């Protein structure tokens, strides 16, 4: 499914379930619900989550900066010849990579930065940094679209919110699960328990096609109906 559909469906259904069970929906709970709705697609550089966190405008600036650095090394690093030419050329070539590859490189660099310079946030800096690096190197619908990813994220939220209550990790885990279930209705499906080859694939739609858009629209509409029933149907307008 498309990122916008995941955002609406996972967030809407999760908050509705919380509302029906009388859970307190706070700003942190809503925020982690939205984030978890998109998190499984962190292994896709052009996904809604990653493209918003690392926007194309930033990548264009990065490309210009790399070209400038390459030129500087090439023309002003004669003391290190011939390595200045080699390094300058390599740096400049990185700037020519497609957007998808550049986002992967930025994710790896951010992950490494968290691991090596985020000591005040130990151990979460290591966990999040490692997650970014791993997801940047894995194919789409890989580890993040498995039960391992679901359990890992839910456990991380649980231990990080021990003093906050249970609502936060329940919201995050449920929103993440709904993303996986939504992807399971596509023709590609997901492999929830690798290395087992079994796929959870209901095959109701193909993302990007006309029929797929109709199916996605149907699920989105049902989500809005559920949200209306849970949060709005009891409100009287005078």
Token digits of residue 47: 């996904």
Rounded distance between C-alpha atoms, residue 33 and residue 25, angstroms? 10
Token digits of residue 3: 């990122």
Q: Spell out the domain ranges in the chain.
A: 3-44+140-232
- pLDDT-flagged residues of the chain (< 70): 234-238
pLDDT in tens, 153-191: 999 899 888 877 899 999 999 999 999 999 999 998 999
Q: How many CB atoms lie within 10 A of CB 167?
A: 19
Distance separating the N- and C-terminal Cα atoms of the chain = 40
Rounded distance between C-alpha atoms, residue 68 and residue 76, angstroms? 12
Placement of tokens 């400038």 in the chain: 68
| pLDDT for position 26 | 93
In sequence order, the β-bridge partners of residue 186 are 205
Q: Are residues 215 and 203 in contact, defined by beta-carbon separation less than 8 angstroms?
A: no
Rounded distance between C-alpha atoms, residue 40 and residue 57, angstroms? 24
**In 3D, which of 176, 192, 232, 213 has the Cα closest to residue 1?**
213
This prediction's pTM: 0.84
The alpha carbons of the chain give a radius of gyration, in whole angstroms, of 22
Q: Are residues 33 and 175 in contact, defined by beta-carbon separation less than 8 angstroms?
A: yes
Q: Are residues 50 and 35 in contact, defined by beta-carbon separation less than 8 angstroms?
A: no
pLDDT in tens, 189-223: 999 999 899 999 998 888 888 988 999 999 999 99
| pLDDT for position 220 | 96
Alpha-carbon dihedral sign for residues 208, 212, 218, 219? negative
Placement of tokens 């399971």 in the chain: 184
Find all residues with CB under 8 Å of 209, minimum gap 6, and list them: none
| pLDDT for position 80 | 77
| pLDDT for position 221 | 97
């Amino acid at each position: 499914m498309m990122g916008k559909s995941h955002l609406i469906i996972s967030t809407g259904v999760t908050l509705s379930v919380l509302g029906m069970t009388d859970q307190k929906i706070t700003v942190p709970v809503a925020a982690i619900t939205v984030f978890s709705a998109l998190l499984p697609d962190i292994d896709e550089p052009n996904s809604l989550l990653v493209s918003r966190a690392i926007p194309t405008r930033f990548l264009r600036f990065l490309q210009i900066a790399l070209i400038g650095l390459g030129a500087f090394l090439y023309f002003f690093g004669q003391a290190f010849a011939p390595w200045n030419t080699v390094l300058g050329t390599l740096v400049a070539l990185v700037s020519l990579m497609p957007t998808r590859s550049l986002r992967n490189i930025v994710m790896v660099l951010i992950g490494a930065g968290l691991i090596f310079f985020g000591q005040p946030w130990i151990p979460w800096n290591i966990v999040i940094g490692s997650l970014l690096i791993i997801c940047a190197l894995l194919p789409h619908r890989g580890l993040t679209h498995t039960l391992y990813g679901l359990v890992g994220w839910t456990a991380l939220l649980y231990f990080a919110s021990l003093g906050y209550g249970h609502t936060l990790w329940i919201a995050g885990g449920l929103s993440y699960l709904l993303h996986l279930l939504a992807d399971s209705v596509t023709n590609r499906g997901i492999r929830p328990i690798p290395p087992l080859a079994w796929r959870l694939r209901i095959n109701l739609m193909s993302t990007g096609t006309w029929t797929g858009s109709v199916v996605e629209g149907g699920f989105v509409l049902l989500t809005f109906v559920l949200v209306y029933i849970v949060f709005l149907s009891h409100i009287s307008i005078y």
